[in-house]
């Protein structure tokens, strides 16, 4: 049996918006449906890795997103010093997942070959496709590549026993999700394969998408990887903070998703 890992979901950003922005074709009710922005930490015996690196204050301001706390502060709140992180997994290269370039000076970066092909290839000739990407994030990754700090993966890969990466595509061509063994079974950190529970459970895609059919097919993969639907963690849903217990007593912006969801909550 692989070891059990602790997983924290750390909220660092927020955006007020209505539901019509969160589904292809809009939403007939169009009530409030804000987005939260997260990074995730995965810790076990001799292992401390981070999934996604978020955006910084300047990028949040430039894009009109609220920075609830810096990613660095969010990590410190669960006793992780960024400079000690050895492995960073990048689910995909969108600006809200690939910023804060100087935060992890000692880390190797793990991403799918296909994602770098996508965000440096002909798809970026289209303004709507490159809009969620930042050239400086891509440039920073190329810099790391030439510093020998990037590990490319093609499809499924094992990072550590009980931590595997799985390319699902759909939202972006090289999007990967992470499957982690925990005390409650196999948890899947879906990142932007499912912004919200509703994108996944109602099969209503988020409007930023490379390939709609591949986006929908990703849910079959994710459901097969997770021990149950309760083991799938969406990438931007404020409900994650509501459903899971605080990572530390009194912490409002970090929860443990390797633990069972709260009972009696919403
Ligand atoms: Zn994205
Ligand atoms: Zn995102």
pLDDT tens, position by position, 22-35: 999 999 999 999 99
pLDDT tens, position by position, 108-131: 999 999 999 999 999 999 999 999
Centre of ligand 2 to C-alpha 191, Å, is 7
Centre of ligand 1 to C-alpha 192, Å, is 5
Q: Read off the pLDDT of each residue in 247-258 and give the average, rounded to a whole number.
A: 97
Task: For residue 265, name the pLDDT band (cuts at 50, 70, 90).
Answer: very low
Centre of ligand 2 to C-alpha 13, Å, is 11
pLDDT tens, position by position, 152-192: 999 999 999 999 999 999 999 999 999 999 999 999 999 99
Centre of ligand 2 to C-alpha 91, Å, is 9
Which residues fall within 8 angstroms of residue 39, CB to CB, at 6 or more apart? 10, 12, 50, 51, 52, 53, 54, 71, 74, 75
pLDDT tens, position by position, 76-99: 999 999 999 999 999 999 999 999
Across the beta sheet with 185-191, the strand order is 157-160, 163-167, 176-182, 185-191, 232-234
Looking at all shown ligands, the one closest to residue 63's CA atom is: 2
Cα of first residue to Cα of last residue in the chain, in angstroms, is 33
Centre of ligand 2 to C-alpha 192, Å, is 5
Q: Does the pTM of the predicted model rise above 0.75? A: yes
Is the model's pLDDT at 241 over the cut of 50?
yes
Centre of ligand 1 to C-alpha 94, Å, is 5
Task: For residue 207, name the pLDDT band (cuts at 50, 70, 90).
Answer: very high
């Amino acid at each position: 049996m692989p070891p059990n890992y602790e997983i924290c979901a750390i909220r660092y950003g927020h955006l007020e918006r209505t539901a019509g922005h969160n589904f292809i074709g809009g939403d007939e009710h169009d009530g409030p449906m804000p987005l939260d922005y997260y990074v995730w930490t995965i810790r076990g015996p001799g292992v401390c890795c981070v999934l996604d690196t978020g955006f910084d204050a300047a990028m949040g301001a430039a894009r009109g997103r609220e920075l609830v706390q810096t990613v660095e502060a969010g990590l410190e709140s669960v006793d992780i010093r960024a400079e000690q992180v050895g492995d960073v997994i990048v689910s995909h290269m969108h600006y809200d997942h690939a910023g804060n370039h100087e935060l992890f000076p000692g880390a190797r970066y793990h991403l799918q070959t296909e994602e770098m092909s996508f965000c440096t290839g002909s798809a970026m000739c289209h303004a709507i496709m490159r809009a969620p990407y930042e050239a400086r994030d891509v440039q920073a990754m190329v810099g790391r590549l030439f510093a020998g700090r990037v590990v490319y993966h093609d499809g499924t890969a094992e990072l550590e026993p009980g931590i595997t990466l799985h390319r699902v595509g759909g939202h972006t061509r090289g999007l990967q999700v992470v499957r982690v063994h925990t005390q409650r079974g196999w948890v899947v950190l879906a990142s932007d394969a499912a912004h919200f529970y509703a994108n996944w459970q109602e099969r209503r895609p988020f409007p930023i998408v490379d390939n709609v059919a591949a986006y929908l097919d990703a849910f079959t993969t994710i459901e097969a990887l997770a021990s149950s639907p309760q083991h799938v963690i969406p990438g931007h849903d404020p409900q994650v903070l509501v459903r899971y217990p605080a990572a530390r007593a009194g912490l409002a912006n970090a929860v443990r998703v390797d633990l069972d969801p709260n009972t009696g909550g919403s």
